């Protein structure tokens, strides 16, 4: 199954320094994915790898730095490690079976519980002890209330060195993946065999050379899976195609809304790839509530424009050029803009009046929902590109018509 990185379950290995996280990652993957050493703090930055592992299937494996790393550099590593929690679907907490459960391990367990991240406790290096310890703390620490009830059935004893328990760990991970697997679609569940869908895909200076972007690829594939007919065109060809075909849906790149809305008759449902992605990532209603903030912007307000990918910005980039210009023209306000890309997302959001986020096609659902949750917790409205552009073009209600009669995901 050739899933993109954002669609694969993200399995992250956490734990204190020298608990054997990296060795265990290498044992689970049967690859020398991470550098291993007896020196504390060998793993500095998180190591991520997309791969297929039986019986897990296609996954992303993430090895993190020790949660108890020391010094100024250690603090930065710990901060980066905690950011990995934002994208984690399943956590593996690796504990040195000789040292036992540490305070930092307990704090991680609290964090997993607060974020509702399924996790597995693993006591590594069990080959070095004659009888497996309980999970009731070690290293002179007092047992926490969160761990005092645990017995062997709640954790897994493994040895990355001998391979003992590694297959059992894979099986447990596979069970959690299957238990949490949800069949979700971007557009397929709204299509019937024989339906016609027109995909409007502008090819301008910001379009990647030789390919179309991921949301467009995914929607096209789902149309084919539904045995619907997908017609791809640019804005200039749309009118002539509509003279020959009456589609069920027209789906456009959001930045072409201002032209496409004038071409597509009102009786044909019109939406955008970005709006479909907002629903697919499970955040449509929250993002919808943030759209009207655009009309309330005032001079000096700060707006964060955040993109989940790290593409090279072009001269007429939508995030840094087009959107700011459209927002200034629409709001008539002198707004200050800040920008982030890829894995960057500010921990302090309070200075922003509004956050405008891309469709999140390069982020997994966990990370996208984490960003939206942070915005909500700070009381900062958040909206995505497609909904913002539809709102400024006065067609947001029309762009959401595709979801009428069917509950938002």
Q: What is the pLDDT of residues 301-338, one digit of tens each?
A: 999 999 987 665 565 788 889 999 999 999 999 999 99
Q: Tell me the pLDDT tens digit for each residue of 211-242.
A: 888 999 999 999 999 999 999 999 999 999 99
* Domain(s) of CATH 3.40.50.11410: residues in the chain: 282-392
Nearest to 166 by CA among 11, 33, 27, 36: 27
Which contacts (CB < 8 Å, 24+ apart) does range 49-57 have?
50/5, 50/8, 52/1, 53/28, 53/29, 53/170, 54/170, 55/170, 55/171, 55/174, 56/9, 56/11, 56/170, 56/173, 56/174, 56/177, 57/1, 57/174, 57/177
Helix/strand/coil for 237? helix
Mean pLDDT value of segment 260-275: 97
pLDDT at 151 over 50: no
More confident residue, 43 or 269: 269
Contact 64, 81 (CB under 8 A): yes
pLDDT digits (tens, 9 = 90+) for 380-389: 999 999 999 9
The span from the CA of 374 to the CA of 212, in Å, is 31
SS3 262: helix
The Cα 304–Cα 302 span in angstroms is 7
For residue 288, what pLDDT band results from cuts at 50, 70 and 90?
confident
- What is the residue-averaged pLDDT of the chain? 86
Percentage of the chain exceeding pLDDT 90: 62
Minimum mean pLDDT range among 49-58, 150-159, 296-305: 150-159
Through-space distance between the first and last CA atoms of the chain, rounded to whole angstroms: 24
Contact assessment for residue 61 and residue 84, using Cβ atoms and an 8 Å cutoff: no
List the structure tokens of 285: 């209603």
- Number of Cβ within 10 Å of residue 148's Cβ equals 12
Handedness of CA 52, 368, 155, 158 (dihedral sign): positive
Name the segment(s) of the chain with CATH classification 3.40.50.11420. Answer: 188-277
Closest CA to 254 of 186, 202, 304: 202
Distance CA 164, CA 3 (A): 30
The residues with which 49 forms a beta bridge, in sequence order, are: 61
Average pLDDT over residues 337-346: 91
* CATH topology classification for 188-277: Rossmann fold (3.40.50)
96-146 pLDDT, tens per residue? Answer: 998 889 999 999 999 999 999 999 999 999 888 765 555 554 443 333 334
Band (32; pLDDT cuts 50, 70, 90): confident
pLDDT score for 147: 41
The answer to whether 194 and 161 have CB atoms below 8 angstroms apart is: no
Superfamily covering domain 5-180: P-loop containing nucleotide triphosphate hydrolases (3.40.50.300)
State yes or no: pLDDT of 34 exceeds 60: no
d(C-alpha 275, C-alpha 284), whole Å = 8
Most distant CA pair in the chain: distance in Å?
79
Residues in the chain, total:
409
Q: How high is the pLDDT of residue 312?
A: 54
* Nearest in space to 190 (alpha carbons), one of 7, 365, 396, 406: 406
Of 24, 18, 22, residue with least CA distance to 122: 24
**Contact of 353 with 297, CB cutoff 8 Å:** yes
- φ, ψ of residue 42 to 5 degrees: the values are -60, -45
* 43 has pLDDT over 70: no
Q: Which CATH architecture has domain 282-392?
A: 3-Layer(aba) Sandwich (3.40)
Distance in angstroms (rounded) separating the CA atoms of residues 222 and 276: 12
Strand, helix or coil for residue 340: strand
> What is the pLDDT, as a whole number, of residue 181?
82
Residue 61 has what pLDDT? 95
Query: Could you report the per-residue pLDDT of 239-258, keeping only the tens digit for each?
Result: 999 999 999 999 999 999 99
Strand 47-53 and strand 57-63: the pairing is antiparallel
- pLDDT band at 359; cut points 50, 70, 90: confident
* CA 161 vs CA 22, 27, 36, 156: distances in Å: 11, 8, 12, 15
Domain with CATH 3.40.50.300 in the chain: 5-180
Note the pLDDT of residue 311. 60
């Amino acid at each position: 199954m050739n899933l993109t990185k954002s669609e694969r379950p993200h399995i992250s290995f956490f734990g204190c320094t020298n608990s054997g996280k990296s060795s265990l990652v290498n044992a689970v993957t049967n690859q020398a994915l991470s550098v291993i050493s007896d020196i504390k703090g060998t793993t500095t930055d998180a190591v991520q790898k997309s791969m297929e592992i039986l019986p897990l299937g296609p996954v992303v494996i993430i090895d993190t730095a020790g949660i108890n790393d020391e010094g100024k550099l250690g603090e930065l590593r710990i901060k980066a490690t905690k950011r990995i929690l934002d994208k984690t679907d399943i956590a593996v907490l690796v504990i040195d079976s000789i040292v036992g459960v540490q305070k930092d391990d307990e704090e991680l367990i609290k964090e997993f519980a607060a974020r509702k991240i399924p996790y597995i406790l693993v006591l590594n290096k069990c080959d070095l002890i004659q009888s497996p310890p309980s999970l009731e703390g070690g290293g002179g620490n007092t047992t926490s209330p969160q761990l005092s009830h645990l017995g062997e059935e709640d954790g897994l004893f493994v040895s990355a060195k001998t391979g003992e328990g590694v297959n059992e760990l894979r099986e447990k991970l596979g069970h959690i993946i299957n238990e949490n697997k949800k069949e979700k679609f971007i557009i397929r569940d709204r299509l019937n065999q024989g339906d016609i869908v027109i995909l409007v895909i502008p090819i301008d200076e910001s379009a990647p050379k030789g390919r179309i972007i991921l949301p467009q690829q995914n929607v096209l594939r789902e149309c084919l899976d539904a045995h619907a007919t997908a017609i791809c065109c640019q804005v200039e060809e749309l009118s002539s195609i509509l003279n020959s075909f009456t589609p069920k849906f027209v789906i456009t790149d959001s930045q072409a809304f201002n032209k496409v809305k004038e071409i597509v008759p009102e009786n044909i449902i019109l939406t955008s790839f970005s709006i479909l992605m907002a629903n697919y990532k499970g955040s449509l209603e929250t993002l919808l509530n943030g759209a009207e903030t655009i009309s309330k912007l005032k001079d000096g307000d700060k707006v964060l424009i955040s993109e989940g990918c790290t593409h090279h910005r072009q001269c007429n980039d939508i995030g840094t050029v087009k959107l700011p210009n459209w927002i200034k023209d629409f709001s008539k306000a002198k707004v200050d803009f800040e920008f982030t890309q890829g894995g960057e997302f500010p921990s302090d959001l309070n200075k922003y009046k509004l956050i405008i986020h891309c469709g999140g096609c390069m982020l997994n659902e966990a990370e996208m929902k984490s960003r939206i949750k942070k915005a909500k917790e700070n009381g900062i409205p958040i909206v995505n590109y497609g909904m913002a552009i539809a709102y400024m073009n006065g067609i947001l209600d029309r762009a959401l018509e595709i979801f009428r009669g069917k509950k938002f995901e």
